[in-house]
Amino acid sequence: PVFSPLFSPSAGSLVQAALTQQPSSLSANVGETIRITCSGLSSSYGYAGCGYGWFQQKVPGTAPVTVIYNNNNRPSGIPSRFSGSLSGSTATLTISGVLAEDEAMYYCGSKEDSTS
């Protein structure tokens, strides 16, 4: 699978300009663990205390699915192989034991609840 993290389309232009995701793209074999980091959500942009969210978009032009909200919470129905963490102002999305079906674009942004 190929994973191409970009900015969250739902977070607004201010947050898009503020956030940095690494790596810009990556590939992985089934069963491997991958990590994507996102940094820059801070008080200097008016987002003090906001939680990070991670979004998965499998088909371009369709609505992204929230896989993590408020840094480390999984919405109902999201597999446990998806996890989130926060260290300082850097959030990390980890997919443990990646599956072929996880191939997608992954986005980060501000997301504190499980609503779409």
Average pLDDT over residues 39-46: 56
Q: Is the pTM of this model over 0.85?
A: no
Report pLDDT for 115: 54
**Fold of the domain spanning 2-110:** Immunoglobulin-like (2.60.40)
The tens digit of pLDDT for each residue in 49-102 reads 567 888 898 888 888 899 998 889 999 999 999 999 988 878 899 999 999 889
Distance CA 67, CA 44 (A): 26
Greatest distance between any 2 Cα atoms in the chain: 39
Strands 105-110 and 26-27: unpaired
Mean pLDDT in the chain?
75
With CA atoms as reference, report the closest residue to 55 among 89, 100, 21.
21
The structural domains of the chain, with segments of one domain joined by +, span 2-110
- Is the model more confident about 2 or about 97? 97
